[in-house]
Chain A
Amino acid sequence: MLLLRFLGSTALSLFGYLGELLFLMLETARSVVTTPIRWRLTLQQILEVGFRSQLVVIVTGAFTGAVFAAQTYFQFHRLSMDTAVGAVVAVSMFRELGPVLTGLMVAGRVGAAMSAEIGTMKVTEQLDALRALGVHPVDYLVAPRMIAMMISMPMLVAECVGIGIAAGQFVAVKMMGVAEVYYVTYMQKFTALRDLEMALTKGFVFGILIVFVACNEGLKSKEGAVGVGRATTDAVVIGSLMILIVNFFLTMVLNIFFPAGV
């Protein structure tokens, strides 16, 4: 009985939370369609989300590609499949590692900043001031962030994938001694435009998830500094978990449109 009650309340909380997110998404979609887009704020957010996340994304992509190439080489070398390292690294970076790791890093860096900023505005009555001045907080705060994220995330994913593949190639060719011509040939043979399309689609979806989770946590934060801290933590934790969970379902669905393999 106790277990049933626990499962019931957990399910209700989950559906309640998803309902909040859906409501915020609909309100934002309505805002984008019915009110003028604040391009100055959107550009500021592109600078914050896209430009200022570069270092994090470059380091993540480079070292993930490098270590993945090294590990793949260590395993494949025993089977004399050294030349397949490039294909494995490229496909993995495109289809999984690039989008997921970029999503997780951006959720940590940008999602936390968004929820903290909006949460602080909430507890210091700046959101009420916006409303009192006749400005809808979703129009002013959420819509520009969503557009910025939709533009920036696919680019960040592309950057992460590119850097990862380049770093992988460097490790495999320059450090492990894999023949460059075979490395590149097999990589080109086993990757195609569909892999890039999958990566960019995932980046786009993860960006939307991050922005709505972060903004929702910020908008509903309360109880002063403690509440803002909690909102920030929740934005990162929930955002990261959602990326990992949604990634599985997205992979299954996107594989229909962008099938793996030659």
Chain B
Amino acid sequence: MSSTPHSMLAVKGLTKQIGAQQILRGIDLQVASGETLVIIGRSGSGKSVLLKHLIGLMLPTSGEVFIEGRQIVGLTERQLLPIRKTVGMMFQGCALFDAMTVEENVAFPLREAGERNPEVIRAKVAEALDVVDLTGHEQKLPVNLSGGMKKRVALARVVITRPNCVLYDEPTAGLDPVVSDSINHLIRRMQKRFGVTSIVVTHDMKCAGHVADKVAFLHEGAIYFYGAFADLLCSPDTLIQDFIQGRSGDTD
């Protein structure tokens, strides 16, 4: 598989070995512009590691990664910086800057992009916080926010610069069903409102069903299934059905 002119993100033959452990085993993926790919799989299957490779936060042992047709493996950290500005990433633990308020966190990418006009920054931050329903919480510190609020601040920080693509690492992990549903709606709203390409790593099947155009099932570092969410649900494969049904095979 190689990067086509219409693919936003593509990986080819991606492998990652850490010590004796083979984390990724020859991943081939392609995500079209505007498409939402959900990567599911059990804990430890390599989902988050794959996501970090897509934005160059980790270096692969072998293989290629393309962002908008440009090969990023082999680029220096400084060469990667402008490319990363076109791809937003929402981290599993939110990774909000804990010394900054909500407003400062959300405004951070704008300031780093060179925006100096306080009125423009304030207006854009207000708009981003409105999208994630967090108006009125501007002056709070991350330590004073709930898990769901942190996720929404992280999302606002990602979308404020209108990236072409957003990577979500476990966006609903650790949240109650109601907040999870709200996050799923937000992700869908981002897609519809801004037309961004999205890659969502999750093991939450409800989240996958809500946002996915395509699903990739990762098992032991390799793509085990790739296709539509409906096809995944109908798959007769025991491994996939065990994952969907949440069956461990253990007995009491």
Contact = CB atoms under 8 A, between A and B. Distances in A.
B57 interface: yes
Contact of A132 (B57, B78, B92): B57
A188 interface: no
A135 interface: yes
Contacts of B98: 124, 126
Contacts of A129: 89, 91, 95-97
B82 interface: yes
Contacts of B92: 125
Nearest to B93: A125
B112 A135 contact: yes
B119 interface: no
Interface size class of A (residues with CB under 8 A): 10 to 19
B12 interface: no
A133 B91 contact: no
Given A134-B82, A136-B81, A128 B112 contact: no
Nearest to B114: A36
A52 interface: no
Contacts of B88: 132
Interface string A109-126: 000000000000100111
Contacts of A131: 57, 77, 80-81, 84
Nearest to A117: B99
Given A128-B52, A128-B57, A135 B95 contact: no
Interface in A116-170: 121, 124-126, 128-129, 131-136
Contacts of A132: 55, 57, 84, 87-89, 91
Interface string B69-84: 0000000011011101
A128 B167 CA distance: 13
Nearest to B56: A131
Contacts of B97: 121, 126, 129
B185 interface: no
Nearest to A137: B77
Given A132-B57, A134-B85, A136-B81, A125 B95 contact: yes
A133 B112 CA distance: 8
- Give the most central of A121, A125, A132: most B CB within 10 Å: A132
Nearest to A36: B114
A126 B78 CA distance: 18
Nearest to A120: B98
Interface string B25-62: 00000000000000000000000000010010100000
B81 A135 contact: yes
B78 A124 contact: no
Nearest to B57: A128
Contacts of B91: 125, 128-129, 132
Nearest to A31: B78
Given A131-B77, A134-B81, A124 B57 contact: no
Nearest to B58: A128
Contacts of A133: 84-85, 108-109, 112, 157
A124 B91 CA distance: 10
A125 B52 CA distance: 11
A128 B49 CA distance: 13
A6 to B, nearest CB: 24
A1 to B, nearest CB: 28
A124 B93 contact: yes
B95 A136 contact: no
A125 B84 CA distance: 16
A124 B98 CA distance: 10
Interface string A212-249: 00000000000000000000000000000000000000
Nearest to B52: A128
Which 7 pairs between the two chains have the least Cβ-Cβ distance? A129-B95, A134-B85, A125-B95, A132-B89, A134-B81, A134-B84, A125-B91
11 contacts: A126-B95, A128-B52, A129-B89, A132-B87, A133-B85, A133-B109, A133-B157, A134-B84, A134-B109, A135-B81, A136-B81
Given A124-B93, A126-B98, 20 more contacts: A124-B95, A125-B92, A125-B93, A125-B95, A126-B95, A128-B91, A131-B77, A131-B81, A131-B84, A132-B57, A132-B87, A132-B88, A133-B109, A133-B157, A134-B82, A134-B85, A134-B112, A135-B81, A135-B112, A136-B77
